[in-house]
Structure 1
């Protein structure tokens, strides 16, 4: 580290959906800025996981002390993976309570080292780091692992509670304060949002308000998205916050390669071999991420419907109880992968024709990047906002409001709607590929890589 031209610290939130894009960002930075050193800050319990990720030599993981059991969490709860929702909230609060002191101590140590600490990039859920960085004179940037369209809506609803108006009609259209022209249907709100209608002091509302206050101390905002799909909302965020905004995604594509390190290579190989036996655009890929559960009766209904239609499907179930009941699968049409799967390689496989997803941003962005139409079944958080963006704004996906099996038939078949969704998916994939072009083919550099370089110039004081 001492011989480095400078040090950049990246601090992801301890959840797979946040750590993976931050790892992609770290890899991309290490490739574009080989003279710099990078520290990947996490908790000590996550160091073994990062050791399996084959990081470049210039990226060094460092663990802060954190004992989950001291906060009423399972002793192995070093990430939010497989935690029930009430424990996810407890995890967030535990991190916010336990890590500021060791974080401040570590940052102070780095400032005393010989290599200059150039900047700090921390996750959107770690906003408490911004005031500490400002106090110590360190350039702080907030890294968003969701898109500005979704986060503008999500934050506005939690901060302003516009749905707490005494009405309860499912089809009511609710105007979103601060996001001109955008409304949301009450029935589309995440379950915990709906429960907050008469609870202005809801813990999530307090958390989001606290985050917004801390963001004021950040110097810039990095987004894992591209101007090609969200420029108006990036501009709105910059105007609302008065800080520079940089769209640097999709990071999975910018960092290069389809593959991700998975814990069970046998499962990965089995998935890809199974896909190889199917014809192009014939398979439905189903995954609800690392911490979302489809109600068992709904999972059984979806699997049974696909079996009746003789529609091949690959269902990823990394956590217990995420797969459909075995009794729902009678004809052997589908494959259930119990464990982590190489999602990017699956979405890039020609056999995959549609993706049934909870609508987490990583899954959404990866599906858009590979031109695979999305079929949304949001479960919580900002997922309903991602659905709204892709279905209503980008027109590259459909919603399961009428039933997943029914809309899948439309997307997979050669009807007018299916053709249109596939056409838009291909167009968006081309735009996202162009956004991270590195100049190797035609000499041009994509807008997202230019934005990253602009950010680094700002953060390191070169302009």
Structure 2
């Protein structure tokens, strides 16, 4: 863009001041699929609101930006070399395929970008006016403070989850005597006064070891989040009103924005990072021949690999339910001869499946899910009943929220559990039996509320406008 204006359009002869350039926002996602996807969707929205956006990635993650860059001219990449770390395999730059224990090492490694980030910001032709970074990157608050710009925390989970996370890292409750993972832990200060078993708590928190340098760094990062300038959530008020109110009161300021559900733009390919092994067109064509609300969609996210026993139980349940199905199966195989026995009744997709398009298809009535937050939002937007099998991370908190919203039913829980095929079959059959269950009716009601939130004038649309206005004011009046 030219730095000067033509005569008569804000130039010196017009007597009018040139319009100030839009705020420049640096966006820094954590390199895990479930974290990157919604933040990149939000970066696209900010660019549509007239902001200039730069997205920081490392070289092997740069290709993930191509869909965003191709449709958003106001978005630019900032590619910085990935810092090496002794606890990570050579060449690894994202969490795909890594065990959960490696999240600490990834968080620690990315802190090595502080120096390069600061050098870039100080030498860039247009320094950033604000930083939006993932909540696993708490160390960026201090970097933003050094640049005298605000740091906003992007939370890839919901407000209910973040309230739990804040309590855990502030209070550091000790593991119960005897080490029982069934021991309850109460959170009386939170909406609904939830109680969780120890095994349901964040594995990041459970892995904390006092005095360990990396563990202490991770804890400081979560506490740095709390003192950051603001929060952005891929959520919406109708789903989490009480939890959002609690967070604003707890943080002592209003800068908590619910801007979701964040989904791919209408003109974009389905999110997910396809690996080329799926058959999205074939699945959608097959769904076209099924009755409305008659199909169960089964998917456990990009990180979960079912054991042989779990896959056998899910397969048996699908057969016994009598329901039509689409089963997105990653990293495992269905039971022997399962596809032959269920030919015409369902479809198994190996590798990537176009989840948003599948869920949104009228034939799909329910979704057997691990309750990852992106899947929860996609299920809500689609208006399907959610059959919940929480396994780890924020999934137990999300499952509780879905129960509060009356759109989810517990099908199983824990990563090592093997469901009873007959019980699971009954849950599946009941979710698509066409009886107009209250859960299905409530799911459709929440779908309408989610759609209204993102329309022009809706609550999430308004909160994005308020955030953009705040950023424009800060640009005119720096911290």
Structure 1: gaps of 5 or more residues:
439-444
- Alignment CA distance shift 1:408-1:171 (3 Å): farther
1:236 pairs with one of 243, 246, 265: 246
User: Within the alignment, does 1:273 sit opposite 2:288 as a pair?
Assistant: no
Q: Is structure 2 residue 100 aligned with structure 1 residue 85?
A: yes
Aligned residue in 1 for 2:427: 407
Q: Does 1:31 align with 2:48?
A: yes
Deviation string for 1:6-60 (max 9, x for gaps)? 4211111111111111111111111122xx3211111121112322453311111
How many Å apart are 1:461 and its aligned residue? 1.6
SS in 2 for 1:431: helix
- Superposed displacement of residue 351, structure 1: 1.2
- Are positions 1:308 and 2:326 aligned together? no
* Residue number among 438, 446, 461 corresponding to 1:420 in the alignment: 438
Cα distance in 1 for residues equivalent to 2:201 and 2:337? 30
2:147 aligned partner = 136
Tell me the equivalent position of 2:356: 344
The 5 Å alignment of 1:345-360 reads 345-360=357-372
Shift of residue 246 of structure 1?
A: 0.9
Q: 1:422 to 1:12 in 2, by over 3 A?
A: same
Q: What pairs up with 1:289-328 in 2 under 5 angstroms?
A: 289-317=301-329, 319-321=330-332, 323-328=333-338
CA offsets 1:81-117 (integer angstroms, 9 cap, x no match): 1222233332222223x2222222222223xx2x453
* Change beyond 3 A, Cα 1:191–1:181: closer
Instruction: Return the TM-score normalized by structure 2.
Output: 0.84
Deviation, structure 1 residue 272: 1.3
Measured against aligned partners, the alpha-carbon deviations of 1:147-199 in whole angstroms (never above 9, x if no partner) come to 110121234235535472326777654311542542224176158479669x6
Q: Deviations over 1:251-283 (max 9, x none)?
A: 217x54684255339622122122223222121
What residue number does 1:125 align with?
136
CA positional deviation for 1:226: 0.7
Q: 1:45 aligns with which of 41, 46, 60?
A: 60
Match of 2:472 in 1: 460
Query: 1:394 & 1:257 partners in 2: Cα distance?
Result: 31
| Paired position in structure 1 for 2:7 | none
Task: Determine if the alignment matches structure 1 residue 17 to structure 2 residue 34.
Answer: yes
Q: Does 1:389 align with 2:401?
A: yes
Q: How far is 1:450 from its partner?
A: 1.0
Deviation at 1:293, TM superposition (A): 2.5
Is residue 5–residue 116 contact of structure 1 (8 Å, CA) maintained in 2?
A: no
Moved more, 161-170 or 369-378: 161-170
The residue aligned with 1:442 is none
Q: More deviation in 271-280 or 425-434?
A: 271-280
Instruction: Report the structure number with the largest CA radius of gyration.
Output: 2
Relative to structure 1, the CA distance from residue 84 to residue 188 in structure 2 (aligned partners, 3 Å threshold; closer, same or farther) is closer
Deviating more after overlay: 421-430 vs 134-143? 134-143
Q: Distance in 2 between matches of 1:357 and 1:436?
A: 24
Matched residue, 1:331: 341
How many residue pairs are counted as aligned between the two chains?
Answer: 443
Counterparts of 2:202 and 2:336, CA distance in 1: 28
Kept in 2: contact 1:7–1:116 (CA 8 A):
yes
- Kindly state the Cα deviation for residue 121 of structure 1 after the two structures are TM-superposed: 1.0
Q: Indicate the RMSD between aligned Cα atoms, in angstroms.
A: 2.9
Q: In the superposition, relative to structure 1, how do residues 185 and 8 fare at CA in structure 2: closer, same or farther (>3 Å)? A: closer
Q: 2:11 — aligned with what?
A: none
Counterpart in the other structure of 1:108: 122
- Following superposition, the deviation at residue 2 of structure 1 comes to 6.5
Residue aligning to 1:441 = none
